[in-house]
Structure 1
Amino acid sequence: MTKSFFTVAIGASAGGLSPLIDFFDHIPININCAFVVITHLKRDHRSSLDELLSKHTSLPLIRMEKDMQLEVGNIYLLIENTAVKITNGYLKVEARDDKVANSSVNIFFKSLADDCGEMGIGIILSGGGYDGLEGAKRINERGGKVMVQDPSTAEIQGMPLSIIDFDHPVAVLKPADLAKKLIHMCAPPANKQTAE
């Protein structure tokens, strides 16, 4: 099935709120993307990310409480104690496993690579550990693109550094510049030529 818009998955953990805000402060409402935000959450506390981001974007913010079709122009948010995959353009929500280490970014990135191919974009922001690395590798293998927050601007550098050290991100930038890069990547070809 041909994809008519880009699916942008954003993975973040500790220290991820500030870069998320900075990123979405620079995203226009007419961008040809759907966003899926995967953050490391406590199992038993309701995430307030929808309320926090609502002050920084006019795009609809949707908590993924059930399976749903992915639609352009929306920001989908992982909720507490769940993981999510994308299959045939549908977001499939499942219970989080009982492992201590959170692998929600890898789980979604891998499904994004398989479902969206070159129309999939993964972005890694502040966070500790390696979650997202294996998924980023698969995104690259399937023709998608991976971008990373510049570790010098990240509160916690583990997740961004793991991608830089073991994979090949197309951009390593501060969050506002990641947004600008994404706008350029997702623009129609005629607009790209004009911008260049």
Structure 2
Amino acid sequence: MNNSFFTVGIGASAGGQKSLSEFFNHIKVGKNVAFVVVTHLMRDRKSILNLILSEHTSLPVLRVENDIRIIPGNIYVMAENITIELEQGWIRVKKRDIKIENDAIDIFFTSLANDFKEKAIGIILSGGGKDGLIGSLQMNHMGGNVIVEDPESAEVKGMPLSIVNWDHPTLIRKPAELAAEINVLCSL
């Protein structure tokens, strides 16, 4: 797909709410960038992350429960018990499979890389495990950028460390500094 705007996929898990809030407190761009937040959620507990993030930004924050066209200037937040993928500029919703390990970030990042190529940006924030690594490798392969929360600032270091140790992220910084980089990159 040939897109005229950037799409920033943000993956987070344990400790990620604090990192997400700090990140969006410092985001100043919006016209030519869409944000999609993918987190590890409990299957049976309704997430209110969209409401929490709306307190940290002036951009519209939309809870994704059904297929929706991605439009710059919005923040899309994945709901519980689903996975999401990008397909020709649409966020496609699928019911989460029954396996215990959550790979929602890898699923989304891989589709983001394939759909938006050099206009794809992946951000890995606080979280345990290695979800996001496979998707980040695909993003690099397709010409996108991967940036990572500094493991020293992350409440849970697993996900950021997996990218730092196994991939070559473009940037490793605290969430506010990652936001500053997005402000510069996406204002072009």
Q: TM class, shorter-chain normalised?
A: over 0.9
Partner of 2:152, secondary structure, is helix
Paired residue for 2:128? 128
Q: TM-score, normalised by structure 1?
A: 0.94
Deviation at 1:31, TM superposition (A): 4.7
Q: Is 2:81 aligned against 1:81? A: yes
Paired residue for 1:60? 60
CA-to-aligned-CA distance 1:63-115 (integer Å, 9 cap, x gap): 11100100000000010000000000000000001110100000000000100
Deviation at 1:183, TM superposition (A): 1.1
Partner of 2:122, secondary structure, is strand
CA contact (8 A) 1:31 1:183 kept: no
Share of identical aligned residues, percent? 52
Aligned ranges 1:108-147 → 2 under 5 Å: 108-147=108-147
Please, which runs of 5 or more residues in structure 2 have no aligned partner? Answer: none
Deviation at 1:185, TM superposition (A): 1.2
Alpha-carbon distance in structure 1 between the residues aligned to 2:67 and 2:101: 24
Paired residue for 1:7? 7
Alpha-carbon distance in structure 1 between the residues aligned to 2:126 and 2:5: 26
CA-to-aligned-CA distance 1:106-127 (integer Å, 9 cap, x gap): 0000000100000000000000
One-letter code aligned to 1:124: I
Alpha-carbon distance in structure 2 between the residues aligned to 1:66 and 1:30: 23
Q: CA RMSD in A?
A: 0.8
Paired residue for 1:193? none
How many residues align? The count is 188
Deviation at 1:187, TM superposition (A): 2.0
Partner of 2:47, secondary structure, is coil
Greater C-alpha Rg? 1
Q: TM-score, normalised by structure 2?
A: 0.98
